[in-house]
Amino acid sequence: MYSPCLRVSLGYTTPTSFWYILLVKLLFAILLFASTACLASMQWGLSSGSSTMKYLYIESSPRAAGLAGAGLADPGSAGASEAAGNPMAGAWTQAAMISGSQAILADRLGAYWNTLQVVQPFQNVHVLVGANFLDVNSIHGYDDDATYTGDYGASAYSVRLGLASDSGAFTWGLQGSYQHYAINQFNNTAFLCDAVLGYRIGSRVRVAAGAFHMGWVGSFDAQPEYVPLTLQAGVSTIAFDRKNLLVEVHTDLRRATDGPKELLLGIESTYAKTLVLRLGIDALSSNPIPSAGLALNLGPVQASYGYTGNRELKGNHQFGLSYLF
């Protein structure tokens, strides 16, 4: 009798693997259709500004910041360090990894978005554990008559737990999070989930679709709030691969439940597997400002920087450090 491994190598498929592949394809089709449909829709979701926890829209890593949010389908040289915002990226490592980053938000916001991510690979499934903390400078309070009433604080934190796996053609990631934020004496909590599915086409193309920040959110100051659901689909293509130079192009569609349509374009160039340069832009923005970033891969250590352009807020700077052990 053939062993299961031998049957696969000879082209046979077990009933279990058949239904698994069929389910994965179905889920992928649903995510891909939902992501592209929401972009095509003239009016999708809620009116602008309706959802809560807007800090979750901040790019989750220096790479994402440098690519303007593009690159969902293939985390490239950044690998599992992207798992904080893209759980599927947790499958891109053969060793345990810890990474941290800090986004220094625009001067007018006066806040710092800190991220910690740990990925532990096992035989078939990788485990993701992480946390975020938003630290906001003192906020000046004013009443309806524009009279100064004193300073107050604001903060937010989250903890995450997820799984990721790469079965060859298909790659998937799933993570849940507990979110909490407070403004002055008021606070709110949420239980949210991210799900991403990717598919490899040949050796040069990857496609992916994901739904982010799905779940439940409580009320704030006795007022109902809405989850910051975001849908995204993307294609990553290796455009050039010769000797020491690798160039990858990313094209993503993204839309938040109360946000505008986004067409995210990014290009990522890696020289000698060491120096990475990144550029990105939202092509549908009325006032597009390029984002940019770079990274250095020094053995088990990767240091990275990303800048996200914003005409009104003067942009965010994001620094990151990862270590494989």
Q: Mean pLDDT lowest for which of 159-163, 223-227, 231-235, 270-274?
A: 223-227
Higher-pLDDT residue of 163 and 256 is 163
**Nearest-angstrom CA–CA distance, 294 and 313:** 22
Please tell me the predicted confidence (pLDDT) of residue 183: 83
Strands 245-256 and 230-242: antiparallel
Residue 163: pLDDT over 90: yes
DSSP class of residue 54 equals G
Residue 147: pLDDT over 70: no
Return the structure tokens found at 107.
């001067």
Higher-pLDDT residue of 33 and 213 is 213
Q: Mean pLDDT lowest for which of 105-119, 165-179, 251-265, 271-285?
A: 105-119
Within a domain: 283: yes
CB count within 10 Å of CB 149 equals 9
Higher-pLDDT residue of 7 and 85 is 85
65 falls in which pLDDT band (50, 70, 90)? very high
Query: What is the length of the chain?
Result: 325
Among residues 323, 306, 258, the alpha carbon closest in space to that of 71 is found at 306
Within a domain: 103: yes
Within a domain: 4: no
Residue range(s) defining the domain that contains residue 263? 13-324
Number of domains in the chain: 1
Within a domain: 26: yes
Please tell me the predicted confidence (pLDDT) of residue 51: 83
CA distances from 1 to 6, 17, 18, 178, 195 (A): 10, 18, 20, 48, 38
Residue 108: pLDDT over 80: no
159 falls in which pLDDT band (50, 70, 90)? very high
Within a domain: 149: yes
Within a domain: 8: no
The CATH number that applies at residue 202 is: 2.40.160.40
CB count within 10 Å of CB 23 equals 10
Mean pLDDT for all residues in the chain = 84
Q: Mean pLDDT lowest for which of 106-110, 116-120, 160-164, 290-294?
A: 106-110
Q: What is the mean pLDDT of residues 146-162?
A: 81
Please tell me the predicted confidence (pLDDT) of residue 245: 95
Residue 60: pLDDT over 80: yes
Higher-pLDDT residue of 220 and 148 is 220
Please tell me the predicted confidence (pLDDT) of residue 5: 35
pLDDT digit string (tens) for 31-51?
Answer: 666 666 666 665 666 677 678
Within a domain: 5: no
Residue 256, beta-bridge partner list = 230
Higher-pLDDT residue of 142 and 258 is 258
**Nearest-angstrom CA–CA distance, 270 and 93:** 18
- Selection from 78-87, 99-108, 141-150, 222-231 with the highest mean pLDDT: 78-87
Residue 265: pLDDT over 90: yes
Within a domain: 262: yes
Please tell me the predicted confidence (pLDDT) of residue 4: 32
E strands, the chain, are 97-104, 111-121, 126-136, 139-142, 148-152, 154-166, 170-183, 186-201, 205-217, 219-220, 223-224, 230-242, 245-256, 262-271, 275-282, 291-298, 301-308, 316-324
pTM of the entire structure?
0.84
**Nearest-angstrom CA–CA distance, 318 and 61:** 7
Higher-pLDDT residue of 224 and 294 is 294
Residue 303: pLDDT over 90: yes
8 falls in which pLDDT band (50, 70, 90)? very low
Please tell me the predicted confidence (pLDDT) of residue 132: 95
